Amino acid sequence: MSVQERKERERAARERLILATAREIAEEQGWDAVTTRRLSERIEYSQPVLYSHFRGKREIIGAVALEGAAEMAAALRAATSAAEGPRARVTALARAYLDFAARNPAVYDAMFRLDGGLAFAVEDTPEPLKDAFSALLESLEEVAGDGVHPGLFTEVFWAALHGMATLARAGRLPPQDAERRTELLVDRLAVL
């Protein structure tokens, strides 16, 4: 292995460590607790080393959002691949989405609530974000209904899931009705 290859591997490992640590701090204490000072103390690298990877917290949030989008897409596809039939796929999709949001609140915030400097719904949207939307679209396009644009239907269904995830996390929805809410969403929006 060349010196250059070793340095690239070490750099990639440091970057993974920075992001993993940022996620850990954010999940434990919230994104306000993620500072370059706290990160540098926790990973035992100087702040200039952090800045050699990310120009600041905004870029860290964006990188976490991209990781989260890839993880969410994988979770959605795994859940829907095991389901048979449109209703089962859409129900599995909804449950997997809501479960991902509940299990990864800081990552979910990085993806959809915080400014990570990422462009959504435009030509230069990063691939992981496009792929996460595609993971939704793959199961929803077959239940959009006649004359309904599958992309628009997916946006509406996604918005409903996002609203449910956000309101549940804020304690605005009774947790005992979560499954009934999911069933109602599937029954009322999807053409099965």
Give the pLDDT of residue 142.
93
pLDDT at 1 over 80: no
Give the pLDDT of residue 123.
92
Instruction: Tell me if 23 sits within 8 A of 103, measured CB to CB.
Output: no
Q: pLDDT-based confidence at 143, cuts 50/70/90? A: very high
Give the pLDDT of residue 63.
98
pTM of the model: 0.94
**pLDDT, tens digit, 9 for 90 and up, residues 67-111:** 999 999 999 999 999 999 999 999 999 999 999 999 999 999 999
**pLDDT, tens digit, 9 for 90 and up, residues 44-64:** 999 999 999 999 999 999 999
pLDDT at 18 over 90: yes
pLDDT at 147 over 90: yes
Q: What percent of the chain has pLDDT over 70?
A: 100
Instruction: Pull the structure tokens for residue 37.
Output: 């000072």
What is the separation of C-alpha 115 from the centre of its chain, rounded to a whole number of angstroms? 14
Mean predicted confidence (pLDDT) in 171-185:
97
Mean predicted confidence (pLDDT) in 22-26:
98
Instruction: Pull the structure tokens for residue 88.
Output: 């089962």
Q: pLDDT-based confidence at 192, cuts 50/70/90? A: confident
pLDDT at 149 over 90: yes
